Amino acid sequence: MLNKYARAFFTRVLTPFAAFLLRRGVSPDAVTLIGTAGVMAGALVFFPRGEFFWGTIVITLFVFSDLVDGNMARQAGISSRWGAFLDSTLDRVADGAIFGGFALWYAGTGDDNALCAVAIFCLASGQVVSYTKARGEAIGLPVAVNGLVERAERLVISLVAAGLAGLHAFGVPGIQVLLPVALWIVAVGSLITLVQRVVTVRRESAEADAAAAEAASEAGA
């Protein structure tokens, strides 16, 4: 849902920056790679040590590369299937690093196996939610559904909560509880979104099969 409204806004805001990078000879693919590397570093260096505030700051600095690279490609007129594939693939890598960082914290110093399992579920369900749409589209279905918790929601909820939870290290009491709450919200929301997409694909596939059968019947007649 956030992706529908926020993406257009941030694309407009980041357009001048994208144009600046193009003038400096930076390619969209380079921005994609650097952005993913930055997100992975922020998540896997800081989160497992419980440094959620600084980890979130680093990730936030790089996560907008997902909007900048596509903007650059459109401005330069070089949008390609390869660029779309690379961007989508590295999005999954970045998401895995973020929730993997949470899982490492709770598996180690955070010492909470239940929350470690929730973080792993968030990681896995996020990958599957993306896969269901990609696979549905690959077999010719529109997958016309806006899920409850898509990638934008997963990132905003988890990163805002992590950043605020990190303020506990600066003496803010009780705020660390926001991260567990956010992980549970993302887990439940991702499960609902997965069900929404599976139901949609099932309905669309049934409609497509019925239409194909009717067309074959009419052709045979």
Residue numbers annotated as active site: 91
CA-to-CA separations, 77 to 11, 14, 84, 85, 207, in angstroms, rounded:
16, 17, 14, 17, 37
Nearest to 143 by CA among 133, 135, 129, 151: 133
Nearest to 151 by CA among 124, 119, 129: 129
Which conformational region is residue 175 in: left (phi greater than 0), alpha (psi within -120 to 50 degrees), or beta? alpha
